[in-house]
Amino acid sequence: NLFPYHLFWWQSPDGSRILTYFPYERYNFTIQPYRFIDILKQFEFNTSLKDMMILFGLGDHGGGPTEEILL
């Protein structure tokens, strides 16, 4: 089951809230430029926001993107 929300306010039983973000793609996903554009358009349509967070990492150690990934 896919969780239907990516950006929302989570509220605890005591009423306090935090802004919560789930990435559009799952872990172990290599994003292609054409796919990124589609994701960004969908995010803007659903939230009216023009900026979104993209998480980069390699493996389970959080290594940054390589030059090959960025090109």
pTM of the model: 0.51
The separation between the first and the last C-alpha atoms of the chain, rounded to the nearest angstrom, is 33
Q: Domains in the chain: how many in total?
A: 1
2 belongs to a structural domain? no
Which domain range does residue 48 map to?
A: 7-70
* pLDDT at residue 31, rounded to an integer: 66
* pLDDT at residue 32, rounded to an integer: 72
Positions of E strands within the chain: 7-11, 17-21
Under 8 Å between Cβ of 8 and 47: no
1 belongs to a structural domain? no
* pLDDT at residue 15, rounded to an integer: 97
62 belongs to a structural domain? yes
CB burial of residue 52 (10 Å; 0-12, 13-18, 19+): middle
9-60 pLDDT tens trace: 999 999 999 999 887 666 666 667 777 788 888 888 888 888 877 776 666 6
22 belongs to a structural domain? yes
27 belongs to a structural domain? yes
Longest dimension (CA), the chain: 47
